[in-house]
Amino acid sequence: MELAPRHTGSSERTMVSSVAPPPEKMMFQLSLRRRGISDRAVLQAMEAVPRDRFVDPVHRDGAWRDTALPIACGQTISQPFVVAYMTEQLRLEAGHRLLEIGTGSGYHAAVLSRLVRDVVSVERFKTLADRARARLKELNYANVEVLLGDGFAIPEGAGTFDRIIVTAAMTELSQPLLDLLDPGGILIAPIGPANGRQTLIRVERKDDGFIRKALVDVRFVPALTGIAREL
C-alpha cells in the first residue's frame, strides 16, 4: 500500500523531502526508543549507519526492520535493538579503543566506530572479514581495523582495550580475554551454549578484580575456535 501524495505547495514539499528521514528510518528510531534505548549518541549512530549496505541485496527491503538477518557463511547480522542495547551498555567514550570479536557484516563495528576512537574487529571467516573490510572502506569508516583471526586467541601484540564486545555466544569467558581489558574497562558478551539459554553478561574491571552482571537473555550464533577452514 502507498500513501496518497499530499497536496502541498512546492516550498513545503522541498522542506519535507530535505528534512524528514524516510519513514522506515523513523520507524527504526521509534522502535529502538520504545524498547528503552535512550542514549542520544547511540541513537544517532544507529540512524547514521546505513544498515541496508551491510546486508545482501535480497534482504535490503527488510534492512530497517528490527530483526536479525542472514549473511554469508551461515552467520547473521544482529537485530538492531540488540546492537543498540549492547552499545549503550558499553558506556562508550570518544577516546576509547575497542575490540569486537565477531565482525560478521561489519555493521556493529560501523556503529561503534562512530562513538569511539579506534575499533579493532576480529572475524574467523575470511569471506566475511574481506567483505566487511571492503564495505567499511567504501563507507569511509576509517577507524575500524578488521582482522582475520580467532577471538579466543588474540595475539599479544594487539595490546589491551578500554572496551570489549563479543558478538557470538561463548560457553564461558576466558581469563586471557578478560586480561585484555584495561582497568576501568567494560566487556559485554553473550554467554551460554549454542542451542540453549544465553545471557548477555557485562564485566567491569576494577583495580581489585572483575565485577560480573547478568543483563538479559539473548540468542547469538556460537563462537567457534580457530580460523574457519571454509572460506
Q: Does 154 bind ligand SAH (CB under 6 A)?
A: no
Element (H, E) at 10: helix 10-19
Confirm or reject binding of residue 49 to ligand SAH (CB under 6 A): no
Catalytic residue among 10, 11, 18, 78: 78
Q: Which stretch binds ligand SAH (CB under 6 A): 16-24, 32-40, 69-77, 87-95?
A: 69-77
Q: How far is the CB of 12 from ligand SAH (least distance, A)?
A: 38
How far apart (Å, rounded) are the C-alpha atoms in residues 156 and 152?
12
Residues 146/106, Cβ–Cβ less than 8 Å: yes
Give 79's contacts (C-beta < 8 A, 6+ positions apart).
66, 67, 68
What are the backbone dihedrals phi and psi of residue 162, each rounded to the nearest 5 degrees, phi first?
A: -75, -35
- Per-residue 3-state assignment (H helix, E strand, C coil) for 41-107: HHHHHHHHCCHHHHCCHHHHHHCCCCCCEECHHHCEECCHHHHHHHHHHCCCCCCCEEEEECCCCCH
Give catalytic status of residue 17 as yes or no: no
Between residues 119 and 122, which has the closer beta carbon with respect to ligand SAH?
122
Phi, psi of 215, rounded to the nearest 5 degrees: -105, -80
In the list 25, 53, 97, 152, the residue contacting ligand SAH (rule: CB under 6 A) is 152
In whole angstroms, give the CA distance from residue 9 to residue 216: 49
Shortest distance (Å) from residue 7 CB to ligand SAH: 42
Write out the three cell numbers for 139: 563507507
Among 81, 85, 107, 161, binds ligand SAH (CB under 6 A): 107
User: Which one, 88 or 150, has the nearer CB to ligand SAH?
Assistant: 150
- Provide, rounded to whole angstroms, the least separation between the CB of residue 45 and ligand SAH: 13
Nearest distance, CB of residue 16 and ligand SAH, angstroms: 32
**Residues at the site binding ligand SAH, with contacts judged by CB under 6 A:** 75-78, 101-102, 104-105, 107-108, 122-125, 128, 150-152, 167-168, 221, 223-225
Catalytic positions: 78
